[in-house]
Copies of this chain bind each other. A is one copy, B any other.
Amino acid sequence: MTTTTRRGGRPASGEPVLDRAFRLLDAFTDAETSMTLTRLSDRAGIPLSSTLRLAQHLSRLGALERRSDGTFTMGLRMLEYAALAPRGHGLRAIALPYMEDLHRASRQHVQLAVREKDEGVIVERLSAPGAGKVLYHVGARVPLHGTGLGLVLLAHSRPEFQESYLQRELFLEPEHIPLAAVDLRTQLHEVRTSGVVHMARALPEPAASVAAPIFDRSGDCAAVISVVGADGSLDTRMLEPAVVAIARAISRDLARGGRDPQAGRSPG
């Protein structure tokens, strides 16, 4: 294979095209779901001409969409891919009916997350209009320390992983307060002992949550579910039985292989 060099020193062949394509996709954020070509080029740090060529190619593949005003947005093809992620929509299909029950009963935000490497990823959330604002959206990443969702996932991960995580220099954000390994170790022990995590914080604004683990057939922690209230007055102790019960119900359904509501046939 011949390798030539382009502007920016990247080889013209093979992998870098894929890296650049995903850099374009990564340029989109919650705050900026549509972008002009120039903005996209700036955000991704890719020359305008390459950005145009790549963005057009990604649009042909359905990964991006070009709107009538010329701006680019994420394409619907991504929905198809996301729907096929077993730890995303597969888990979600099983958990959603239970999440709705919890949502109706608590009238608070309900979140479902899984661990991906050293972070948690929100795979579903149901929002309560009156329950205050929330930091995280579907697909968002949360730290494994300092959040209820994260602590549950970390506490139930393999011991070697926990040890390596504890070796890190950790901070609680947004205050940027150092978190000592000994304190985190104590927290993780408590999470495993009590089976739930209650969190309350004042910053960036008052909020409280309660989270519980969801286990798969082999007894591994597959996910975590949490109820979050952001008006500062949520009594998470009151909600603990409901969250624990629903987490157990989802675990049971997951172990059974789920009801698989996505299979079968009918008209549109």
Which A residues lie at the B interface, using CB under 8 A? 1-2, 4, 6, 12-15, 17-19, 21-22, 25, 28-30, 33-34, 54, 57-58, 61-63, 65, 73-76, 78-90, 93, 96-97, 100, 109, 111, 113-114, 116, 120-121, 123, 126-127, 129, 132-140, 142, 147-150, 199-201, 204-205, 207-209, 211, 226, 228, 230, 259, 261-268
Copies in the complex: 2
Q: How far is the CA of A134 from the CA of B19 in the complex (A)?
A: 38
- Contact B90–A22 (Cβ < 8 Å): no
Q: How far is the CA of A82 from the CA of B64 in the complex (A)?
A: 11
Chain B residues near A111 (CB-CB < 8 A)? 268
- Contact A78–B82 (Cβ < 8 Å): yes
- Contact B81–A133 (Cβ < 8 Å): no
- Contact B79–A74 (Cβ < 8 Å): no
- Contact A84–B74 (Cβ < 8 Å): yes
Chain B residues near A14 (CB-CB < 8 A)? 12-13, 17
Give the residue name and chain of the B residue nearest to A114 (CB): B76
